[in-house]
Amino acid sequence: MKIAIISDIHGNLEALKVVLDDIKSRKIDKIYCLGDIIAKGSHQQECCDLVRKSCEVVIKGNCDEYFTSDIDLTKKSEGEVKRIKWNKSKINEETANYLRNLPFCHEFYMSGRLIRLLHAHPERTDKFAGSIDKLERLYGLFLPSENTISNEKADVVIYGHIHTPYMQKIYNRMIVNVGSVGNAVDVFRNDEKDGNPLNTTVANYLILTGNYGSKDFNKKISYEMVCLPYDIDKELEGNKDNIEFDSYEIEMKQGKYRNMDKIYQSFIDRGIDKDKI
């Protein structure tokens, strides 16, 4: 069984189409989506329509949750109010209702492993845990919570949210981040050390291959990360109405997150010396 796992499309239709075409060209049985179909890019409605048509399982991301909830605008800054209103205007009410009702998590066995799919973390759709974190925080990814389906620790956690793909083995368990289809970034940036941005600004997804439903650990399993170039300029052409066009363009073309101050603060919070990055 081959399952393609996509995440964090963020309204990028060109990237999503390239990914779905690539999936179609391989013998893949199912497509799962880990959320954040909306926010940021202009083609949010189109991406929701395509994901609903193509994916057997879709779970909820933090943006799917945030931009479809009742937000008290009186407590938000002027810029944030504009951002909320623009993003809310990009999807219709029926789609908003669909996103609101998405499940938090999905689980299955493959080649003996209990595989848990999450958007970001078992506790919340917006809790950040990534390769920059210490073991204790990474271990938290495997733990069950009131949001998970089973009360077991997962053998494999597959998630999105951080927009940078990676794999890491700890405690005989496996972490796989599938990266982002439509908004790939790399938070480790240094003008002297940076390589080709095309190594970041691709559409990323994962192909998981193994014995679906089997509780026999003694079976083959594989995790394949796919990186696909797509027509970024064409996608940006269709973003003329984007109220955050400038920062969006930098993310698309340089893979540099729009709010590096937030990234640097999270390095400081984690005890990482930002000057050594």
Give me the residues that bind Mn ion (CB under 5 A), please: 36, 61-62, 161
Please, what is the minimum distance in Å from the beta carbon of residue 128 to Mn ion? 9
Name the amino acid, one letter, at 236: L
The CB density around residue 118, as the number of other CB atoms within 10 Å, is: 30
Residue closer to Mn ion, measured from CB, 61 or 182: 61
Q: Kindly tell me which of 161 and 256 has the beta carbon lying closer to Mn ion.
A: 161
Write out the two tokens for 150.
């089973």
Tokens 């964090």 belong to which residue?
8
Nearer to Mn ion (CB atom), residue 110 or residue 206: 206
Helix (H/G/I), strand (E/B), else coil: 138: helix
Residue-wise DSSP of 10-40? TT-HHHHHHHHHHHHTS---EEEE-S--SSS
Structure tokens at 239: 């973003």
- The residue (of 111 and 183) whose beta carbon lies closer to Mn ion is 183
Centroid of chain to Cα 118: 9
∠ CA 202-121-161 to the nearest 5 degrees?
Answer: 20
Q: Which is nearer to Mn ion, 9 or 50 (CB)?
A: 9
Cβ-Cβ contacts under 8 Å for 12 (sequence gap 6 or more):
40, 41, 43, 47, 181, 182, 183, 203, 235, 252
Kindly give, in sequence order, each residue whose CB lies less than 8 Å from that of residue 195, ignoring residues fewer than 6 positions away. Answer: none
Q: Least CB distance from residue 125 to Mn ion, whole Å?
A: 7
Q: How far is the CB of 186 from Mn ion (least distance, A)?
A: 16
- In the complex, the smallest distance separating the C-beta of residue 55 from Mn ion, rounded to whole angstroms, is 16
The residue among 7 and 200 lying less far from Mn ion, judged by its C-beta, is: 7
What is the Cα–Cα distance from 39 to 43, expressed in whole angstroms?
A: 9
Could you give the 3-state DSSP secondary structure of residue 262?
Answer: helix
Cα–Cα distance for residue pair 15/237, rounded to 1 Å: 13
Residue 37 or residue 154: which is nearer to Mn ion going by CB? Answer: 37
Smallest gap from Cβ 126 to Mn ion, in A, equals: 7
Could you count the other beta carbons within 10 Å of the beta carbon of residue 60? 23
Beta carbon of residue 36, minimum distance to Mn ion (angstroms, whole number): 4
Minimum distance of Mn ion from residue 262's CB (angstroms): 14
| Secondary structure of residue 246 in the 3-state scheme | helix
